[in-house]
Structure formats: C-alpha cells, structure tokens
Amino acid sequence: MFAIPTLPGYPARLLPLRLIPTLSRPPWGGQRLAALGKGEGKIGESWEVWRENVVQGDGRVFGEVADFPLLVKLLDTSERLSVQVHPNAVQARALAGAPHGKAEAWVVLEAEPGARIAYGLNRELSELELRERAESGEIEDDLVWIEPRPGDVIDVPPGTIHAIGPGLFLYEVQEPIDLTWRLYDWGRGRDLHLTQACAVAVRTPLPPPWREPVRVSDRVVRLIEGPHFVVERVALPLQRQGWEAITVLHGQAEAAGVAAGPGQTLVLPPGLWQLQGEGEALAARPR
C-alpha cells in the first residue's frame, strides 16, 4: 500500500528513521515539551512525524523519502485551545479543495487536577443557532465538558466540536493535514471560520468519547482502531512490523542501531523489526 521510492543514496529497504520535530508555539503552550529537550520556552505542539520534518542526519524532508500517511504530535496546554471542528474527506474537498479530511484521536499522558476537554454539545442546535451562539459567545453554555485521566483514549472523528483545556499533556495521531476550522476562541481575536465550521459540525449531543483498550498480548494493548490508523501501547523489547511510528513514553527504544528516548519518536519502515530497549511506547500505524 505504501510505496518506498528508490531515491539516490537510499536502499530499496529503508532503515529506521528519526525526524527533527516541527515545533508550534501558540499562546496556549506549556513547559513540558521544553523539559523533554524539544526547545526552550513555551511550546504547544511537537509534530513528531510529519511530511515536512527533516530526516535527522540526512537533510531531506521526510515526504521526499517516503509517504507515511499520518501526523503524530505531542501537545502541552497551559490555556484553553479554540473551540474547533475538522471536516471529513468529502467536506474537505468541497469546502477547502483538500485531499482528505482530519480524523484524530488522543491518548492522555498527563492531566492536572480539574483539567477538562469540551466534547460536543449538550443540546441540538440548528446551523443558524450554532453560528449565532458562536458569534455571541453563548456557545460556552452549550459545550459538554469531560475530565480526562492519564491513560484515557479519546476518539475525535470529523465533525466533532471540541476544545482542549489547560493542564493537559496529550499524544495525538491524525490524518496528515493541518485543517482546523475555529468556531470560537474565547475572545482572543484570532480569525474564525464560522461558515465552514458550522457547515461540518455535528450539532447534536454525542456519545461518550472514551475508547476501551483491548489487550492483544502480554506486551501489546490496542488503544484505538479506526478507519485511518491504529494506536497501541507496547512494552519493550518486542518485534514490530513497519510502517509504524514509535513514540517512547519512558525508557528507550532502538531498532537497527537507531535509538529514541522519552518523548522521542522512531519511524519503522516496512519490514519486520526487532525493537530493543526497555520501557513503554505508543505505536501508531496507518490503515
């Protein structure tokens, strides 16, 4: 399904890769990513696996080397993110000319006491009502707030109205596109995308977002399996089948001499790999 290009200097079978993360510094970023050595100051997002990331020790961007159809991030929040929504593939093509939509899921790594996430509406609204209440700020009264705990797995399919609150450290996997439509931004003055957001939003209450993990073996727990990706929590060492992004939670992972420590990500190309080390990691693969 995922072709490996034979570029000059690259063998037909790639070795495991480390990518230089792309860092985002929005106003809501925190200090956890700096503590992991990602950079200095407040950082909101570390895009661990992204087609525009540079391959460590090589200089090419990842998208020139191979086509890995996921975006893997780490998020750290010190303030509320905007109330936002993402489209599905049909909506993305129709409204933005984009090649696909944006389904995503989160694994909660840390949650401070009282940390919350807005997930859907507490009552049904028409498209016009949703727009009017977003413009007036009354949408704050329409949101359902949940209190996540470390280890929780939250599915965020396209159309879900959501907002991440402060005090959270999340692992996120999504389709590889930066396509977010803001519905409300808590008065911060950033641009909104009301026409698009109201057109694609699910305007009825949603079922609970939690996904129950499934134990696959004594070393593998499947956290979520959707139409675009699978995420598993794995104990090291073990054998893995690429394509896969391995994000280390604690300890160290190593494959074919390429290593990653806490908060770092190792990309395993297609093939069977002995993943050495100790500790735990999150493994994301495309479907």
pLDDT tens-digit profile of 230-286?
999 999 999 999 899 999 999 999 999 999 999 999 999 999 999 999 999 999 999
Give the pLDDT band (50/70/90) at residue 11: very low
1 pLDDT more than 70: no
Other beta carbons within 10 Å of 182: 20
Q: Which residue has the tokens 């100051």?
A: 41
Using CA atoms, how far apart are residues 137 and 121, in angstroms rounded to an integer?
14
**Can you give the pLDDT at residue 13?**
65
* pTM strictly above 0.75: yes
Give the pLDDT band (50/70/90) at residue 14: confident
CA distances from 190 to 30, 125, 183, 187 (A): 19, 24, 11, 8
Using CA atoms, how far apart are residues 219 and 201, in angstroms rounded to an integer?
38
Q: What single-letter amino acid sits at 96? A: A
* Backbone dihedral angles phi then psi of residue 136, each to the nearest 5 degrees: -85, -15
CA distances from 147 to 4, 71, 185, 269 (A): 42, 25, 20, 36
156 pLDDT more than 70: yes
Using CA atoms, how far apart are residues 90 and 96, in angstroms rounded to an integer?
10
DSSP bridge partners of 280: 235, 250
**Can you give the pLDDT at residue 225?**
96
**Can you give the pLDDT at residue 2?**
40
Using CA atoms, how far apart are residues 106 and 115, in angstroms rounded to an integer?
15
**Can you give the pLDDT at residue 7?**
37
Find the farthest-apart pair of alpha carbons in the chain and give their distance in angstroms, rounded. Answer: 57
**Can you give the pLDDT at residue 8?**
43
| Among candidate residues 129, 87, 124, the one with its CA nearest the CA of residue 204 | 124
pLDDT tens, residue by residue, 111-141: 999 999 999 999 999 999 999 999 999 999 9
Active site residues: 182
pLDDT tens, residue by residue, 38-97: 999 999 999 999 999 999 998 999 999 889 999 999 999 999 999 999 999 999 999 999
Arithmetic mean of pLDDT, 93-109: 96
User: How do 220-225 and 258-260 pair as beta strands?
Assistant: unpaired
Name the strand (E) or helix (H) holding 174.
strand 168-174
Domains and CATH numbers, the chain: 17-200 (2.60.120.10), 214-286 (2.60.120.10)
Kindly state the tokens that stand for 19: 């990518």
* Backbone dihedral angles phi then psi of residue 269, each to the nearest 5 degrees: -70, 175
